[in-house]
Structure 1
Amino acid sequence: MTQATRDLIARYYAAFNAGDAKAMLDCVSSDIEHRVNEGGVRRGKVLFGEFCSHMGVSYREELKDIVIFSNEDGSRAAAEFVVHGTYLKTDPGLPEAKGQGYILPAGGFFDVKDGRITRVTTFYNLNDWIRQVSE
């Protein structure tokens, strides 16, 4: 079960790096709970899909140095990685986008059930990102 969970998380992040929102959605349950860094909670595949589409327009990101961990029964997992990104389109309430690059350590935390991700919580240092795109 542990290897299956790590493989699921690896597929999820491979789809992210490929910009393949459909493949990302194939990894999550219909009742996915997406807990956004310093934000609210999105519930359901539709809202998660809308978020993925928005990210693809506003940011171009590649995750590198991904390390995936899971508990013994595969019901929970975590990943640590470095985000290499370009800020493409201004997000409301954030600095103006001018194609700025950024590099941020980040992580994701997951619940897994029946071979699907049921919760993903993302974490990165928003103040560090703002500093990088504001310089």
Structure 2
Amino acid sequence: MRTFGDLFRKNLLAFLLGPLAVIPATILYAVAFKFIDPVANYDQGSVAPLFIIFGLLIAYPVTLIIGLPCSVLLEKLGKFNLINLLLVSALVVSIYALIMGGSFLGYLFMLYFAVWVACGCWFFYRAAQ
């Protein structure tokens, strides 16, 4: 007999492993900018672990406070799929960017990582048996 329900186990796995998508997102970001301007970004590899640590420190609480309730709500409404999850992620980032202000480039940066984390959570949610 299982102690936890199937939905709880899937959400727990998605929460614990999904935000780790920050790691490949940061690596891809660093590699892409290495090719765009190698002279200006020659030292970016040394700060990548710092980006990863701060990204994880942001991704886990945001996933817990905003991501899990949104995914449970989408499940209850019967609209839980990757497209809707990405749309909700983009909506949350857009609302945050409007409230906090800032540049469009900063908005795209947050959106990039939000999409990676949402896809990571989706993958691990679907992989849970």
- Larger strand percent: 1
| Higher relative helix content | 2
Same fold (TM over 0.5): no
Whose RCO is larger (CA < 8 A, sep 6+)?
Answer: 2
Length-normalised TM-score, structure 1:
0.29
* TM-score where L is the length of structure 2: 0.30
Larger Rg: 2
